[in-house]
Structure 1
């Protein structure tokens, strides 16, 4: 290790010629130093405090540290008596003197909450919802939520979050759930219904999680998550709208995939006095992704065309041809997102979700009738009241009804 820059060198660098050459290149001001200078650096390096010495010094000064702590507590007590004119014992008890006191208390509270929840689930029926997700570091995480009735009120709580070590198959998910229930002494027979996202690992007929659960709990009711159902329906687009949607995704990826293009696009948005300076990437697994991506893209539609004029004229021409379709999709998926957000509220039940979907279907029929009669209105965007955003009128963009329900 070089004592001047603390860099560790390889064995090949220990040749005298290479050492001298490195000294001339990296430390030219030290080339005239004599041998005693470097010996002094070596002695200082060897006398530096190491971990063993620190522990040795700590053990030697243990009694002194205890005495200093007692003296410091007495000093704090005297200061509190002098300044506050109140007994200092109550105040000192509230001061955590340990560095892990807060962490320990949080762990104790979470353990108490989990114990109370598990003890209650041992004696009552409940429904459970399972969701398996993959984190950015490719770790598989299984989340379990329970819904139960206590004191004539519906409660929703997170039961556990466990990591799936290897596989994410239905059998592995069932074993994780079963092991947790055995650990907490919760009978599987207390589960009356289970909600999943409809993935094959969950609802597979032979090897899905539901099939393994029904082997142990025969009367369990399997429910498909209502938000995932609505999300699947939203995927059923016509060929024309599907091509328009992917054209927008290609244009966004063309701008966001390159760091230079991202910076240039942000600069162009600033010059055009746009409210936003970046486009949003589309993610298939996110429920709100299509609506957010389309809303941001249409808000920056003219700026995007101006930018793509120098980068990819083919995409620009296709976007100009499909402007009416993009406007239609933007409005449509914005309304889908509004329904999604309502379905994700707290304390939802079957009656509330049914009313939300029924009201949405009634509005869809009304909009379809209005478009069929040629009656158009400005869509209620979330961005209508934001400064610097362009509104578009359905009267000038929609030429024909494209609803397919």
Structure 2
């Protein structure tokens, strides 16, 4: 025979005189006013509830029903406030999450940090008000997108990404690439990239960018690299290879960074950067290619040196429906501009050259 089902007792309004109300989470369970504890459904009967009142809360055993009713009203008000607080806290948490996500989109788009307050928040407010038909103020007030807030969010996220990368480098072997360059305001900057295998996939990340306070000698570069590895507890022995641009401060035999690095890690493999190899190749162009390039450079300089020539050339391109109306200057410093300069000259100046 199957076991008989247990009787499910229902709450009665009369149980309030025993100091019990239905539990907010389950209406079939009685909950005590004072302790906030919930009894089982089997205890939902007058004898059990009265016994609890007399034993646990004897001071209130002879109280009037109005007293218990006032306690119930206070409890309900407190529950409403608690619910509102939880909803408000949830909105604040969601707003904080949205603030971090929007702060990540701003630098990816290359826009200034002030665009958060100037454009993003007003745009979000218009979307909420127009599409959803709701008051946007509660949502917008929970999203911090001021210039300082966005900068702080970006710093926190970048620090977290850097910490994760450093934790990975402490337990794996990797190759580094070093590049030293000078900015427009004469600040010497050292860039370091790492490449390693993670989950059978090649990963390449930028490790750090540090300014060189004084000179750009090999010893200064090595001290900057060594200090970073020491601060982040990354073993220098994990470096398998080091790629450089071939500058004397990088590959010299005595005081260059490769020599200093090999003193600590003798097995490190030094290699010339692939991109800078192309730079070396283009230094020895054939006579025919060199002559063609110099002809193009002279023609471009002839047009760009004069504002009148530039306007006339632009008008010529407009009359012939050319794809481009401006030419690109070639510089020896930015050697990759050679291909762009030749391509633009071909696409925008073929008519003038033909004539």
**TM-score, structure 2 as length reference:** 0.56
**1:270 paired residue number:** 318
Equivalent-residue separation in structure 2 for 1:172 and 1:293 (angstroms): 37
Structure 1 Cα separation of the partners of residues 144 and 280 of structure 2? 55
SS of the residue aligned with 2:154?
A: helix
Equivalent-residue separation in structure 2 for 1:261 and 1:298 (angstroms):
18
Q: Deviations over 1:162-200 (max 9, x none)?
A: 112332222221121112112212222211100112222
Shift of 1:145: 0.6
Q: Deviations over 1:57-108 (max 9, x none)?
A: xxxxxxxxxxxxxxxxxxxxx9xx9xxxx94442244213584444333322
Match for residue 91 of structure 1?
91
> Are residues 1:208 and 2:286 paired?
no
Structure 2 residue 243 is matched with structure 1 residue 225? no
Q: Does 2:212 match 1:167?
A: no
CA distance in 1 between counterparts of 2:334 and 2:297 reads: 14
**2:351 pairs with one of 302, 318, 325:** 302
SS of 2:255's partner is coil
Between Structure 1 and Structure 2, whose CA radius of gyration is higher? 2
| Residue of structure 2 equivalent to 1:377 | none
| 2:280 paired with 1:280 | no
Q: Deviations over 1:96-134 (max 9, x none)?
A: 358444433332222122112212222322110111222
Pick closer, same or farther for the CA change 1:154–1:97 going to 2, 3 Å: closer
The 1:135/1:262 distance shift into structure 2, 3 A limit, reads farther
Deviation readout 1:245-277 (Å, 9 max, x if unpaired): 212212212222333432332223223322211
Among residues 340, 347, 350, which one is paired with 1:292 in the alignment? 340
Distance 1:267 1:188 in 2: 60
Matched, 1:257 2:297: no
1:246 to 294, 311, 314: 294
Matches within 5 A, 1:186-197: 186-197=234-245
What residue number does 2:189 align with? 141
Secondary structure at 2:326 match in 1: coil
Instruction: Indicate the SS of the match to 2:162.
Output: helix
1:213-252 residue CA offsets vs partner (Å, 9 max, x unmatched): 1122211100112232233223322334323321221221
Give, in whole Å, the separation in 2 of the partners of 1:233 and 1:97. Answer: 51
Please say which of residues 149-158 and 192-201 is displaced more in the overlay: 149-158
**Is the 1:272–1:303 Cα contact (8 Å) retained in structure 2?**
no
- Inter-CA distance 201–263: structure 2 relative to 1 (3 Å threshold): farther
1:357-372 mapped onto 2 (5 Å cutoff)? none
Conserved 8 A contact 1:126-1:192: yes
Indicate if the aligned counterparts of 1:132 and 1:140 stay in contact, CA closer than 8 A.
yes
Q: 1:260 to 1:172 in 2, by over 3 A?
A: farther
Secondary structure of 2:314's counterpart equals helix
| Residue deviations 1:295-345 (CA, integer Å, cap 9, x gap) | 222231332576xxxxxxxxxxxxxxxxxxxxxxxxxxxxxxxxxxxxxxx
Q: Which residue of 1 aligns with 2:201?
A: 153
> Partners of 2:303 and 2:215 in 1: how far apart?
36
Residue equivalent to 1:110:
158
| Aligned-partner Cα distance in 2 for 1:143–1:178 | 14
| CA distance 1:280–1:98, shift in 2 (3 Å) | closer
Q: CA RMSD for the aligned pairs?
A: 2.6
1:127–1:146 Cα contact (<8 Å) kept: yes
Task: Give the secondary structure class of the aligned counterpart of 1:276.
Answer: coil
